[in-house]
Amino acid sequence: MRTTARALRLALLLVLSSWPVWSVDGQQPRPRRTSAGYIFVSPNTRENLTLADAKAGLDSDEERRLLAEERDVACRLRRAISIEKAIGSWSDGAEHSTMLRGQMNEPTLRYAGSWLGQFATQKAILYFHQEPSGSGRIYVLLLQPRLRDLGTITNKLEASGVTNRTIVPQRRRTVVFVVDLKNELRAKVATAARRLKARMTSAKGDAEFIGDDDRARAQTVFAQEVSKYEASHPRVKRACRVKTPANE
């Protein structure tokens, strides 16, 4: 039994550590602040999309353009970055989206998210920065490989009280991410994990929406974040040639 428990703990740690990826050269040496970070940004500017609309949007031109811009940002930051198609889902809607994840400090995280939010003319982007003293939390639900139906997944999340979530359909399984801004959703996410028969992991950190409810004002917010970062990191403004994957 002890060996089994130890193996399970190790597996959970490996799951958390398997969401890599970027840190940036040229930062001030503050290793304590460089940790796992996530950015959630959509190319969508339409209202009232259904789950079926969002799924179809994953193969849209605007999705492909955003993915290409994300690869360019990663190139200019001179680090690898994990980029995945995603579906943002909430109680009364959905949209095609993307998720970026990697090792970074918070200023770089805010910069990349703001650049992409401005590029995609968004009202807001969401980021999460892992930090032991953070006031929020991110949950990762690894679903059973056979569970792929988006309607079933969203219905069980909704019934559990998890009203805002990001669904990432990967090749071998579907993964659900829940960003808990105030660290108050543990019971609800745990209920959803049981109903979905999912493995749940989580980490503390700080989460924030950058932008504004008004789309035009949001562009000003994004531009200010970008200018602030580039003033002290001029290298990121250099052009970068990125190869586009054949399947994109």
Give 79's pLDDT tier (boundaries 50, 70, 90): confident
Tell me what the mean pLDDT of segment 118-139 comes to. Answer: 97
Whether the pTM exceeds 0.95: the reply is no
CA pair distance 234, 221, nearest whole angstrom: 20
**At how many degrees (to 10) do helices 106-119 and 61-76 cross?**
150
Question: Is a pLDDT exceeding 80 seen at residue 21?
Answer: no
Tell me what the mean pLDDT of segment 29-41 comes to. Answer: 74
pLDDT tens string 184-236: 999 999 999 999 999 999 999 999 999 999 999 999 999 999 999 999 999 89
In this structure, the number of other CB atoms found within 10 A of the CB of residue 95 comes to 22
Residue 245: its pLDDT value, please?
53
Question: Is a pLDDT exceeding 50 seen at residue 52?
Answer: yes
Residue 182: its pLDDT value, please?
95
Q: Provide CB contacts within 8 A for 104, sequence distance 6+.
A: 22, 23, 24, 34, 35, 37, 112, 129
